[in-house]
Amino acid sequence: MEAILVEKGIIGTDAIDYMSSVYEHQVGPQLGAKIVARAWVDQEFKQRLLADATEACKEMGVSGMQGEEMIVHENTDSVHNMVVCTLCSCYPWPVLGLPPNWYKYPAYRARAARDPRGVMAEFGLELADDVEIRIWDSSAELRYWILPQRPAGTDGWSEEQLAELVTRDSLIGVADVATPQAS
């Protein structure tokens, strides 16, 4: 597709390079992972993130279109959160990057609200029956994402090491962060 657009003069390779760079360095799940890692090591930052995710993200230089009004929900031993947009595919692009195709599919959107345990199981996440699941339905005005639990065995790890463990799927809530032994 890219080659055809360039060949027909519709878009230049410089524009493609620029957009690739934006999504590689300025938006994406690596930015959300850095924010999560900071929250895991800095309790004051974590409280600011949970109180006002949009402003806390700005502290780390992360903001922009589709990130104007964000709320972060924290996973705990007793509550697991998951994000969906049942109407379309609203998504916090600055911290998660491009939405995965499955996030936009009507089947995911419907099943995430109706059968979240089943959806998570398809991603390999099995939660105990006593863990409450909360589904957060994003909209054009408000976008949710998840602060996953810090995995055991990471005491003393740097923010950079911790950020390497965080995935886009854990920020959506369909997966947990892998423990170091399993990663």
The residue annotated as part of the active site, out of 20, 21, 63, 90, is: 90
Tokens 């463990």 locate to 165
Residue 34, both tokens: 């850095």
Q: Name the catalytic one among 20, 21, 78, 89.
A: 89
**Does 78 participate in catalysis according to the annotation?**
no
Where is 7: in which H helix or E strand? helix 2-7
Please pick, among 57, 85, 138, 170, the residue that the annotation labels catalytic: 85
DSSP 22: I
Q: Residue 14 contacts by C-beta under 8 Å, 6 or more apart in sequence?
A: none
Q: Is 57 a catalytic residue?
A: no
Active-site residue identified among 20, 21, 88, 158: 88
Crossing angle, helix 29-41 and helix 43-51, to 10 degrees? Answer: 120
Beta-carbon contacts of residue 28 (< 8 Å; ≥ 6 apart)? 96, 97, 98
Active site residues: 85, 88-90
